[in-house]
């Protein structure tokens, strides 16, 4: 598990625990969209159905990779 520190919506600091593979995939997604990880996570946070942000990020990464 990797713990990453993020800033949601430019004002809410938090840390998220994710497996290394999900962190790497999230970095690749952010780079391909020319956005920061903070921007991607802010987007995920605003539209998530899951209560747990880490779970919402995993689902987002999975769905994004499935669309490729």
Q: Are 37 and 29 in contact (CB under 8 A)?
A: no
The whole-number pLDDT of residue 10 equals 87
Give the per-residue pLDDT at 31.
97
Give how many domains the chain has, as a whole number: 1
Tens digits of residue pLDDT in 1-29: 999 999 998 899 999 999 999 999 999 99
Would you state the pLDDT for residue 42?
95
Alpha helices in the chain (DSSP H): 20-32, 37-47, 53-67
Longest dimension (CA), the chain: 32
Cα angle for residues 52, 58, 62 (degrees, 5° grid)? 145
* Interval 35-50: pLDDT, tens: 999 999 999 999 988 7
Q: Give this prediction's pTM.
A: 0.90
Domain of residue 17, residue span: 2-67
């Amino acid at each position: 598990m990797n713990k990453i520190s993020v800033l949601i919506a430019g004002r809410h600091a938090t840390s998220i625990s994710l497996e290394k593979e999900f962190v790497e995939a999230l970095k690749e997604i952010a780079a391909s969209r020319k956005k920061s990880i903070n921007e991607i996570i802010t987007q995920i946070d605003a539209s998530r159905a899951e209560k747990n942000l880490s779970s919402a990020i995993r689902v987002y990464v999975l769905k994004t990779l499935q669309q490729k």
